[in-house]
Amino acid sequence: MEDGDTTEEAVVVPVSIGDEQPFPHSLSRHRDSEEESPHETLRDTKASIENIVAEILSLKNQGKPKPLLTLRLRELLTQTFLHFVTLRQANRSILMEEERARTETERAKAPLELATHQLQNLTYEKSQFVKAIKACNDSKSKYPDIEVVSEEEFFRDAPQDMKDSVLSNHSEHNVVLKRLNFELFQRKELCKLHDKLEQKIKTLLETIASRKKFLSSLPSLLKSLKKASLPVQNQLGVQHTKKLKQHHSAELLPPPLYVIYSQLLAQKEAFGESIDVEIIGSVKDAQAFAHHQAHKETGISITVESPKLENDEPNEEDGQRQSKRPRRFQGKESLDQEGIFQIHPLTVNLHVYDDEISDLESAKLTTLKFEYLMQLNIICVGNKASNDGPENDILSDLFPDDTGLELPHQSAKLFVGDAIMFNGDRTSRPYKWAQHLAGIDFLPEVAPLLLASRETSDSDEAAKGEEFITSLSQYRQQSRLQTVLQKIRSGRKAQLALQ
């Protein structure tokens, strides 16, 4: 039997649909399929069709009689058709279920999209809020050092209406706002006070300017007043202006000259000595020299072009070289060039009068000039009234062995060397008694006791040594200044008597 004949016979044979006897298995499967899900029905139907096809193939291969085979094939074909109907029903059910699911999905999609859009909006708002919070946390004030009043100060000093005001529903924020308002109130009050003080300062500055103007014109007024009072001072014998000027100049004196000046003034005021003391010289040069010395002592370098104020000191290397080489003779001209005879700009003049004559103009005996050599640190004295030369001056004979031709102390001699410092060309000489008056004390080169105990064959030298010891002892026992003045008076009187 061929497959085409089998198909034609299956189609020709009438099958009664209402007769359920020949198809009990397919009907029961169809009822079960209504209770199952479409996908399960589809899977089961597919499995049944595969079994029927396998059975048909096995029947054709067995070689059974044709009537029996044809009947069985018809039954199997009928079952296959029924299964196809079931497949179509299951497929329709699946499609309808998909359509229903699609419709429900479309219906639920709109709320989902709305919720998604709202979620995106909320996420964006959250990011903006986070960004704003971060910006607020990171923001810095233009004036970070300004502090607001504390809560204790606010509740203690703030006005009552400011304390009772309500600026915010949040309690802490309300307190902060009220503190800020109180701070603003205080600053406004301080600004008003600042304006008042500025006005007061302006008034005071104007007053100060007017008074400074008056004070600037006051020296000229005082100067004219002093000039007008000079005749009265001369008439009354009160030299107040001259005394002030002398005291001002005394502040610029070097220490040795200042000691002489102060001792002479004290002697005059305490014992009524018939002397006059005055300071002569350039006050401006003395001020410049004092300024130079002050800066030199403090170690501050200054530039002074005046040769009078320069102090040429050899450095250490030159000193070492000079110490290794023999000292050469230095003449007077070379010493003057090196500034050995550099004199301080101010000098002290001492006018000595005869204490037995009341008229000072006719009683004037002599005038002594005290000078200070800055490089050698010695005092030189000259007699202005002597015209016979230093060798015939009374100052050379005041004390034994003190002619003033030699330097008084060893340091000055070492500084100068073997040069002849003082001869007939210089009227001022460094007498030893002048150094004592100036407070420059030094030890003698030879001990006085050695001179007294020295054994010598020359009787004149022994007598000279004893005379020196006696004179020195007498000089130390008496007041130095009184002794000098007495010897100057007696020597000058004797000189005038010889003339």
CA 325 to chain centre: 52
How far is CA 399 from each of CA 334, 432, 491, rounded to the nearest angstrom? 32, 9, 11
Give the model's pLDDT for residue 480. 75
358-390 residue pLDDT tens: 766 667 888 999 999 988 889 999 887 666 555
293 vs 252: CA distance, rounded Å: 11
Domain hosting 97: range is 38-107
Cα dihedral: 151, 152, 158, 161 (round 10): 70
> What sign does the dihedral 451-456-461-467 (CA atoms) show?
positive
Q: How many structural domains is the chain composed of?
A: 3
Q: Which residue has the higher pLDDT, 450 or 11?
A: 450
Q: Which of 374, 351, 368 is nearest to 256 (CA)?
A: 374
Q: Based on the domain organization, do 278 and 230 belong to the same domain?
A: no
439 closest CA partner among 258, 267, 311: 258
Residue 308 in domain = no
Domain for residue 97, yes or no?
yes
Give the residue-averaged pLDDT of 164-176. Answer: 79
How confident is the model over 204-261, as pLDDT tens digits? Answer: 999 999 999 999 999 898 888 888 887 887 777 666 677 888 888 889 999 999 999 9
Dist CA 310 CA 287 (whole Å): 14
Q: Residue 110 and residue 436: Cα distance in Å, rounded?
A: 126
- Domain assignment present for residue 156? The answer is yes
- Regarding whether 171 and 78 lie in a shared domain, the answer is no
Note the pLDDT of residue 3: 40
Considering the domain architecture, whether residues 175 and 155 belong to the same structural domain is answered as yes
Q: Are residues 44 and 159 in the same domain?
A: no
- CA-CA distances (angstroms) from residue 54 to 3, 49, 467? 15, 9, 176
Least confident of 107-111, 234-238, 314-318: 314-318
**Judgement on whether residues 259 and 157 belong to the same structural domain of the protein:** no
155/81 same-domain check? no
In terms of Cα–Cα distance, which of 34, 46, 44 is closest to 93? 34
Percent of the chain with pLDDT over 70: 71
Give the Cα separation of 478 and 495 in Å (integer): 24
Boundary of a domain, candidates 237, 271, 286: 237
Do 204 and 259 fall within a single domain?
no
Instruction: Report the pLDDT value the prediction gives residue 471, as an integer from 0 to 100.
Output: 53
Strand stretches in 189-286, DSSP E: 275-281
Q: Are 405 and 468 in contact (CB under 8 A)?
A: no
* Contact call for residues 79 and 25 (beta carbons, < 8 A): yes
Residue 284 is assigned to a structural domain of this protein: yes
Compute the mean pLDDT over every residue in the chain, rounded to the nearest whole number.
76
347: nearest Cα among 322, 321, 384: 384
Q: What is the dihedral of CA 326, 327, 331, 337, to 10 degrees?
A: 120
Q: Tell me, what's the pLDDT at 368?
A: 92
- What is the pLDDT, as a whole number, of residue 199? 95
- Same domain? For 348 and 393 the reply is yes
Q: How confident is the model at residue 11 (pLDDT cuts 50, 70, 90)?
A: very low
How far apart, in whole angstroms, are the C-alpha atoms of residue 354 and residue 492?
Answer: 10
CA 429 to CA 423: how far, in whole Å?
Answer: 9
Query: Quick one: CA torsion of 396, 399, 400, 404, rounded to 10 degrees?
Result: -40
Q: Is position 392 within any domain?
A: yes
Task: Please say whether the beta carbons of 378 and 416 come within 8 A.
Answer: no
Q: Same structural domain for residues 343 and 271? A: yes
Most confident among 12-21, 244-253, 396-405 (mean pLDDT): 244-253
Q: What is the pLDDT of residue 204?
A: 96
Q: Residue ranges of the alpha helices (H) in 338-478? A: 360-363, 410-416, 432-437, 448-453, 459-477
Query: In the predicted model, is pLDDT for residue 354 greater than 70?
Result: yes
Last-in-domain residue among 194, 215, 237: 237
- Regarding whether 352 and 205 lie in a shared domain, the answer is no
Read off the pLDDT of residues 264-309 as tens digits, 9 standing for 90 and up: 999 888 888 889 999 999 989 999 988 888 887 776 544 433 333 3
Nearest to 433 by CA among 399, 401, 474: 399
Instruction: Please determine, for residue 4, whether its predicted confidence score (pLDDT) is greater than 70.
Output: no
Indicate if 54 and 198 belong to the same structural domain. no
Residue 65's pLDDT is what? 72
pLDDT at 347: 93
Residue 227 located in a structural domain = yes
What's the token pair of residue 492?
């000058």
Alpha carbons 179 and 173: distance in angstroms, whole number:
10
81 CB-side CA count, 13 A: 11
Which of 385, 493, 376 lies closest to 440 in space, CA to CA? 376
Question: Would you say residue 42 lies in a domain?
Answer: yes
Q: How many CA atoms lie within 13 A of 238 on its CB side?
A: 6
Residues 378, 440: contact at Cβ < 8 Å? yes
The three-state DSSP-derived secondary structure of 387-427 is CCCHHHCHHHHCCCCCCCCCCCCHHHHHHHCCCCCCCCCCC
Taking phi over 0 as left and psi of -120 to 50 as alpha, with beta for the rest, 254 belongs to beta
436 found inside a domain? yes
Lowest mean pLDDT among 145-154, 213-222, 275-284, 428-437: 145-154
What distance in Å separates the CA atoms of residue 103 and residue 97, rounded to the nearest whole number? Answer: 10
Same domain, 270 and 416: yes
Query: Whose CA is closest to 484, among 377, 368, 314?
Result: 368
- pLDDT at site 123: 96
- The residue among 237, 268, 285 that closes a domain is 237
Look at the pTM and tell me if it is higher than 0.85.
Answer: no
Q: How far apart are CA 306 and CA 336, in angstroms?
A: 16
